[in-house]
Amino acid sequence: MTAETVRPMPEPRFSGLPWLVIAAGLAAMYIPSFIDLFHGVWGTERNAHGPIVLAVACCYLVVRVRQLLQEGLIERRPAPIPGVAFLLIGILSFVLGRSQTVLFLEAGSLIPILMGIVLLQFGVRTCRRLWFAFFFMLFMVPLPASVVDLLTQPLKIGVSYVSEQVLRLLGYPIARSGVILYIGPYQLLVADACAGLNSLFTLEALGLLYMNLVRHQSLLRNVLLAVLIVPISFTANTVRVMVLALITYYLGDAAGQGFLHGFAGMLLFLVALGLIIALDGLLRWIAARHANWKGRAAPMPVQRERVDTSQAVRDKFVMNIRLAVPVAIVMAVSVAVAGLLVPHEMQTVKAAKLSAVVPTQFGDWREMPSPFLQVDVGLDDGTGRNSDQPYDDVLSRTYVNSHGQMVMLALAYANEQTQDVKIHLPEVCYVAQGFKLRDEQRVEMPMRGQDHPIAASRFVATQKNRVEAVSYWVRIGDGFPNGGLAARWKIFKDGMAGRVSDGILVRASSLMAEKDDEADAFALQQKFLQDLDAAVRVGQPGLLVPV
């Protein structure tokens, strides 16, 4: 019997075909999404860092993979269960985000999908070695507008206050109301891009990238630098706002909103980068001094031994075509499913301008010239429209009854309500314009001809000597969501049902003296809103309250 020599099967030579198949699947999913983001939120100043972060993260991922190959740290230990789990999470996030315009799900889905591919092909240890690239991509994801409003407001007010105080100390004629600065004859709105959470996220990403490239070994030093980026961001934002105020004061509003406005944005990041490097130098000096005091040598960066790249090492990067094809097919199917779930039915109630639909006289109420300036339903960005919520129609009027009681009315209508383009809640606008709120409450307001009361909100806003009671509701489609999360859930349910709903903000307010009872003011507003709905329903049913 002749013994046969058993020879090991040679490992396959490197082939880029499976990776090209995966790349084609990713391109089918994300090229349309990224084009829409470039024409949408990534094209605005507040989210302009998104594509930059994406480009830097992709470059870092390529460089890091090359480095791991050279060091022989790319392993072939597939982890199918976590890989499939991450891939499915990413696919589901993409389908929901793409079809329902949930931008943070649509853009953020790229991260678990890439992690799933790495886990399926190489395993947990290799995925762990690429953690920073995936973590860094989080900074490209557009945050929900409600989250930005909630977290950005204190930052904007703080930056406005510090800018006002510093410029006043320097002798400039400046005043402030909320996040609005008045310098000389000019008015400046401190917008999200100038002093908000997005710039903080961008600077935090910049600092983390700097720390990862410098490769500090001290955990304490890294944590300190990451935490101190928050005050660095605040300082850089304050410098930017003061520079814009001075440009506007000396050169006019056109200069402040033109090229020099963009230059001030670049100045923000130059100042921040300089402060990060200076702070890192200070921490390095403290570490060296501490080591000298303790009689130890200052820590030196660890030099990793590099391994020459050979064909055997490169072969570890080979992807099996039997894995690439099913993954690419799943990606293509997800694009098709997302397209099928996109809502197409438009539910638009309003057929004419609000000024024509809302009568100037109804019941015991008639319009009168307003002796008081109303609080805007949104913050103007200098172009005549709201930068965060482009309402399709806005109406502001003041009415008086036979007893001389006045109520101010504000209506704001939008044809389409999506996850990132929806009605602003009045609480945000009042606080941004310098008011303090108290006695906030959710109420059930009965309306004539309705079997059930509608969900409304009330609060009292104060600013210096002005005290204003406010009642409002938000209608989206056939519902009255109370709060930002409820609005998102209502829009999501309508979208999954194939509908794009319209929305309207209905706000009534009246000024009070200190001795006045706010309960009487709210009762007056409720009577006014009931009369208004009855009058509007005759010519435009369902505009304020669904019929």
Q: Which residue has the tokens 């309207």?
A: 504
Chain-centroid distance, C-alpha 104: 8
Three-state DSSP state, 36:
helix
Do 488 and 421 meet the contact criterion of CB atoms below 8 Å apart? no
How is 435-486 classified by DSSP, letter by letter?
-EEEEEEEEEE--TT-SSPEEEEEEEEEETTEEEEEEEEEEETTB---SHHH
Q: How many helices and strands, by DSSP H and E, does the chain display?
A: 19, 13
Phi, psi angle pair for 511, to nearest 5°: -85, 145
Sign of CA dihedral 346, 351, 352, 357: negative
**∠ CA(111), CA(117), CA(119), 5° rounding?**
100
Give the helix ranges, DSSP H, for 170-305. 192-195, 197-214, 219-251, 253-257, 259-293
CA distance 505 to 522: 17
HSE toward the beta carbon, residue 181, CA cutoff 13 A? 33
129, 240, 488, 507: the catalytic one is 240
Kindly list the distances between the CA atom of residue 413 and the CA atoms of 34, 263, 316, 376, 477, in Å, as whole numbers in the listed order.
Answer: 29, 35, 58, 14, 12
Phi, psi angle pair for 537, to nearest 5°: -65, -25
For residue 91, which amino acid is it? I
**Rg value, the chain, Cα:** 29
CA distance 106 to 30: 9
Q: Are strands 503-512 and 393-401 parallel, antiparallel or unpaired?
A: unpaired
Kindly list the distances between the CA atom of residue 510 and the CA atoms of 183, 374, 394, in Å, as whole numbers in the listed order.
Answer: 30, 10, 19
Q: What letter would DSSP give residue 181?
A: E
Three-state DSSP state, 213:
helix
Do 201 and 49 meet the contact criterion of CB atoms below 8 Å apart? yes
363 — alpha (psi -120 to 50), left (phi > 0) or beta? Answer: left
In the residue annotation, 240 being an active-site residue is answered as: yes
98, 127, 194, 507: the catalytic one is 194
Q: Which two tokens stand for residue 156?
A: 């904007």
Do 540 and 350 meet the contact criterion of CB atoms below 8 Å apart? yes
**What would the 3-class secondary structure string for 475-504 be?**
EECCECCCCHHHHHHHHHHHHHCCEEECEE
In the residue annotation, 194 being an active-site residue is answered as: yes
Q: Which two tokens stand for residue 208?
A: 């983390």
Which residues carry out catalysis? 194, 240
